[in-house]
Amino acid sequence: MRYLKRFAVLALPVVAAMSLGASANAAPSTQASPGAETQWTVQGPDNTVSGPGTASPDAALALVSYVSNETGIGIGVLNVINGSESYDAILPGHRRTDTYFGWDRAQGFYVGAGSCVDGYFWNGSRWVFHSTARGPVRVRTDQSIPGQSVARWAVRSHRAC
């Protein structure tokens, strides 16, 4: 019995920490504070650390836009389009740029050669089909959707074309 008590005491903090994770759902969050979604830190393969967890909580910016990757593979995403780069980072499948990278905006995504994806935006009540992108192409996402304070974009249906 005393071993069971020790296990319960050790397991409790793990369960509490696991319940704090953000949803991978692309739908808009119902949380009151947009900053609550951006409390992730990303550690790269070379052990570099980036993301909002490395800055002061007071330095958080208001969320402007995000791209949600609803495909099963990684896609290239652009934080800020400022040149001829294809993409700034690879966003794994079933992740969002605001929660995975801590970005306050995502200005586009990249579709590789031989691939097609469908782009959708959130209009306040449902996801609306915008267009099909045929790679290789860098797609700029509109940063202003009428009636919305955050431009929400979803990339779906990755396929060969």
pLDDT digits (tens, 9 = 90+) for 104-159: 999 999 999 999 999 999 999 999 999 999 999 999 999 999 999 999 999 999 99
Give 61's Cβ-side CA count (13 Å radius).
10
- Residues 139 and 110: beta-carbon distance below 8 Å: yes
Share of the chain above pLDDT 70, in %: 63
Residue 38 — φ and ψ, nearest 5°?
-110, 40
Question: Measured between alpha carbons, how far is 65 from 75 in angstroms, rounded to an integer?
Answer: 17
The answer to which of 40-54, 85-99, 111-125 has the lowest mean pLDDT is 40-54
Most confident of 23-27, 38-42, 126-130: 126-130
Question: Which pLDDT belongs to residue 137?
Answer: 94
Per-residue tokens: 136: 């290789």
Give the Cβ contact number of residue 105 at 10 Å. 20
- pLDDT band of residue 27 (cuts 50, 70, 90) is low
The pTM of this model reads 0.64
